């Protein structure tokens, strides 16, 4: 069920990415739908290996549609998914505030990882755009919280509550 939910979310993320790229090409600078998907899965899934694989897959799909360094988003989303899943396993986070905090941290962390990798591997200097990063973090977190509330209204349950298969021995 988790794989099907993730596949549906990935199709929606690609559709949002393609739509925003056609309608308002500059808007993708301020929004990252793939981070929302990976953070949601990391807070919901009980398997660390599954979160790592799904984060890598979402990052590879994002790399296919973006102009950034190939593999940078896959690496960033894998690390962010791992970090959120690990923290969630230790603290058992629930609710809007924890999801928003994890989403904001994941968004900013993913941007920092992609910037660092690109700066190291590409010889041209890349400006450190903290204002755009903060705007992207804020917009992505707000949209993710809005999406979470919409899912909660439709499904009628706590959609980021961990599943029954959660392991406690991480």
Burial classification of residue 74, based on how many CB atoms lie within 10 Å of its CB (0-12 exposed, 13-18 middle, 19 or more buried):
buried
Q: Which fold has domain 2-155?
A: Arp2/3 complex 21 kDa subunit ARPC3 (1.10.1760)
Side-chain-facing half-sphere of 35: CA atoms under 13 Å: 34
Closest by CA position to 33, among listed 16, 50, 8:
16
* Tokens 């929302």 -> residue: 36
Q: Which residues contact 45 (CB under 8 A, 6 or more apart)?
A: 2, 51, 54, 85, 163
Residue extents of the structural domains in the chain = 2-155
Q: Kindly tell me if the per-residue pLDDT of 168 is higher than 70.
A: no
pLDDT digits (tens, 9 = 90+) for 69-121: 788 899 999 999 999 988 888 887 777 888 889 999 999 999 899 888 888 88
| pTM for the structure as a whole | 0.83
> CA-to-CA distance for 21 and 118, rounded, in angstroms?
22
Secondary structure element (H or E) that encloses residue 138, with its range: helix 130-155
Q: Are 115 and 126 in contact (CB under 8 A)?
A: yes
Q: How does residue 164 score in pLDDT terms, banded at 50, 70 and 90? A: very low
Q: What share of the chain is helix, strand, coil (3-state, %, to 5)?
A: 75, 0, 25
């Amino acid at each position: 069920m988790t794989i099907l939910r993730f596949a549906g979310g990935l199709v929606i993320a690609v559709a949002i990415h393609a739509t925003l790229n056609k309608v308002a090409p500059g808007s993708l600078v301020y929004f990252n739908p793939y981070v929302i998907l990976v953070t949601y899965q990391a807070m919901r899934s009980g398997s660390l290996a599954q979160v790592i694989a799904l984060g890598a897959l979402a990052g590879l799909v994002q790399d296919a549609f973006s102009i950034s360094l190939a593999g940078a988003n896959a690496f960033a989303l894998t690390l962010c998914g791992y970090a959120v899943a690990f923290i969630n396993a230790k603290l058992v986070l629930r609710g809007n505030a924890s999801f928003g905090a994890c989403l904001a941290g994941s968004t900013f962390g993913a941007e920092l990882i992609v910037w660092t990798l690109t700066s190291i591997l590409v010889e041209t200097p890349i400006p450190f755009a903290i204002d755009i990063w903060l705007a992207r973090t804020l917009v992505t977190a707000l949209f993710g919280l809005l999406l979470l509330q919409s899912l909660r209204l439709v499904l009628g349950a706590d959609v980021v509550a961990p599943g029954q298969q959660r392991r406690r021995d991480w």
